[in-house]
Amino acid sequence: MAQFVTRIDERLAEAVDELVSAGVVSSRSEAVRLGLAELVDRYRRNRVGRQIADAYLRIPQGDREIGWADEATRRMIADEPW
């Protein structure tokens, strides 16, 4: 297992210690591992989201892709016994 050595602000250390005391995490190390895992996951998800959005900007959806949904919605509304 890789090891990181770093310094953090005293207030952040106190906040992490509160998490340990409250039983949210079992140790400072676990808090750091969870925080880094969350950061990496958020970065990856944002990157994928940007790629998806960029693809829609390059090739926008047209009637062929979304027209069926509009028509299905109209049919569902028409079927309601208002």
Domain that residue 71 falls in: 10-79
Whether residue 5 is contained in a domain is answered as no
Whether residue 26 is contained in a domain is answered as yes
- What is the pLDDT at residue 61? 87
Out of 1-5, 7-11, 67-71, least confident range: 67-71
pLDDT band with cut points at 50, 70 and 90 for residue 69: confident
Which pTM was predicted? 0.69
Whether residue 43 is contained in a domain is answered as yes
Whether residue 16 is contained in a domain is answered as yes
Whether residue 3 is contained in a domain is answered as no
Whether residue 33 is contained in a domain is answered as yes
> C-alpha distances in angstroms, 54 versus 4, 44, 57, 69?
35, 15, 5, 23
Phi-psi region of 80 (alpha: psi -120 to 50; beta: other; left: phi over 0): beta
Indicate the number of domains in the chain: 1
